Structure 1
Amino acid sequence: MTEYLVFRLYAPLASWGEAAVGESRPSATYPGRGAIIGLLGAALGVRRDDDERQRQLRESVCIAVKQRSPGTLLRDYHTAQVPAAQSKVTYHTRRDELNAPRKVINTILSSRDYRCDGLWTVAVWLTSQATLTLNEMEQALKTPYFPLYLGRKACPPAGPLAPRRETCGCLLDALDTSFPPLCGTADEERRVLNLPDETLYAWEGDPKHLDGSLEGNESNDVWDEPLHRRRWQFGPRAEFRRIVGQEEGR
């Protein structure tokens, strides 16, 4: 039996950042390790420049996600004006950039992806070298030190996280923990949020950790292991996934 901290994430808009190249800022369909650690860090009051507490948090937890719905894709199109690079000219602030001569101003294009009406269950458990407790994290999620958001500051949670500790025989039981519907009954929630028939489970650690089986599992390396928050450096980790149809669900 293992003790887990489980909680729910829902918002009209969420953005689970992936590797960004050029002007495109894509979003994964579910939160990765970096996003969950960032959420827990905000709740606990761990600042990005506090390297030691960031390390302690990172080394204390393993995470898993149940994607009840990936939501729908929204692509936000942006234009921004920035001055061209010039020798011997340094812009220290955005105000300096906007006050640059108009003849050196260029327009750049970018896009940002969001997931609309996504719904996820998160399970967290402790590692052998943990210096934090699940009780501390549970209380922090109930009364967070910093405001919580789902990937971007424009994406606050729109439903109770409802964190609680559960002792379960396997990770699947923890991720299948039920929560009060966000609207009306469970059937109404499924209809309003257009929940799909397939559920995706993603976890780290032992490939058999979900339910003791390897059947239906797939894996690959994902680059969302936070290494240095101030420099936005991330490393690879092994992630395991399984998609379960409604007829297979429990």
Structure 2
Amino acid sequence: MSERNSVLTLRLAGPLQSWGASSRFARRTTERAPTKSGVLGLLAASQGRDRGADISDLASLRFAVRLDQPGTRVRDYQTAHHGVTGKSMPVSERFYLSDAVFVAAVEGDAALIDGLHTAVRTPTFLPFLGRRSCPPSRPIDLGVHRGGLWRALRAEPWQASAWFQRRRVRERRIELEVIADLAAGDGPGDAVRDQPLSFDPRHRRYGLRGVRSAAVSVANPLSASRRPFVPPKHEPLRLLEE
């Protein structure tokens, strides 16, 4: 990692999210975690870039996402009519992630990262979680870190909802899955067609990128607040004495 590099971390939380990598026609699926193309699209929109603008600087960023709260996959059917003719359009099948929370991280030149940090704090276009119908439920910005992608993901507190954290209150540390870009020396991984080359709506283009899965350990903020169970005082015979 270059000493001039920084890492921007983003909290992606909302009632619904949808991160498609191979959706076509009337069936719009979602991956189980945010895609690089989707997150870079969010950053480009925050900066106010035109869809036809050059995104080579964003595409060069190293990307990873931590699955803090995987959520539940749900399916929806949508109907529509043509705005001019009124003709019924084909029924579309759309998939979403419900109640999911992720921490996405992008690493790159410090000047570029600082500019993106400013953009997500004061976005030109409102950010959304994969689709325009999926707004975030909490602020996206988590801050800028030094020390590399993996260090940032280990340092960032667990972002899952309190009700989800309470399910694992007996665990002091939580192992969270991370899906990250392959780096030199990482060994074999998987290939996904999720490397954005152009967001131009006339000819969107995506290339292959290598990814690998690993895990990081983070503290459970609720485990430290656990107290041993103390039964309430209950003396039924006192009523007879009175």
Cα distance in 1, alignment partners of residues 52 and 99 from structure 2: 32
2:16 aligned residue: 13
Shift of 1:182: 7.0
Structure 1 residues 97 and 49, CA gap change in structure 2 (3 angstroms): farther
2:127 aligned residue: 148
Give the 5 Å matches for 1:85-124.
94-98=82-86, 105=87, 108-124=90-106
1:91 aligned residue: none
Q: Is the 8 Å Cα contact of residues 28 and 94 (structure 2) preserved in structure 1?
A: yes
Structure 1 residues 55 and 245, CA gap change in structure 2 (3 angstroms): closer
Q: Is the 8 Å Cα contact of residues 154 and 216 (structure 2) preserved in structure 1?
A: no
SS in 2 for 1:57: helix
Cα distance in 1, alignment partners of residues 153 and 75 from structure 2: 29
Percent of pairs with identical residues: 27
Give the 5 Å matches for 1:55-66.
55-59=56-60, 61-66=61-66
1:220 to 190, 213, 222: 190
Task: Please tell me whether residue 191 in structure 1 is matched to residue 149 in structure 2.
Answer: no
Shift of 1:18: 2.3
2:113 to 111, 134, 148: 134
2:7 aligned residue: 4
Provide structure 1 residue ranges, at least 5 long, that are not aligned to the other structure.
Answer: 82-93, 99-104
Task: Please tell me whether residue 67 in structure 1 is matched to residue 49 in structure 2.
Answer: no
Shift of 1:160: 1.5
2:48 to 28, 45, 49: 45
Show CA shifts across 1:171-193 (max 9, x none).
3321123348676xxx5451389
2:236 aligned residue: none
Show CA shifts across 1:62-107 (max 9, x none).
21111112211111112335xxxxxxxxxxxx43332xxxxxx565
1:238 to 197, 202, 210: 210
Q: Is the 8 Å Cα contact of residues 43 and 145 (structure 1) preserved in structure 2?
A: yes
Task: Please tell me whether residue 204 in structure 1 is matched to residue 207 in structure 2.
Answer: no
Cα distance in 2, alignment partners of residues 192 and 140 from structure 1: 35
Structure 1 residues 113 and 188, CA gap change in structure 2 (3 angstroms): closer
Q: CA RMSD in A?
A: 3.0
SS in 1 for 2:141: coil
Cα distance in 1, alignment partners of residues 62 and 72 from structure 2: 27
Structure 1 residues 75 and 96, CA gap change in structure 2 (3 angstroms): same
Cα distance in 1, alignment partners of residues 168 and 36 from structure 2: 25
Structure 1 residues 122 and 181, CA gap change in structure 2 (3 angstroms): closer
Structure 1 residues 22 and 74, CA gap change in structure 2 (3 angstroms): same
Structure 1 residues 72 and 178, CA gap change in structure 2 (3 angstroms): same
Provide structure 2 residue ranges, at least 5 long, that are not aligned to the other structure.
Answer: 220-242
Query: What letter corresponds to residue 156 of structure 2 in structure 1?
Result: S
SS in 1 for 2:58: helix
SS in 1 for 2:155: coil
1:84 aligned residue: none
Equivalent pairs, count: 210
Give the 5 Å matches for 1:172-191.
172-179=150-157, 188=163, 190-191=165-166
Shift of 1:110: 1.6
Query: What letter corresponds to residue 143 of structure 2 in structure 1?
Result: R
Structure 1 residues 7 and 69, CA gap change in structure 2 (3 angstroms): same
Q: Which has the larger radius of gyration?
A: 2
Q: Is the 8 Å Cα contact of residues 102 and 159 (structure 2) preserved in structure 1?
A: no
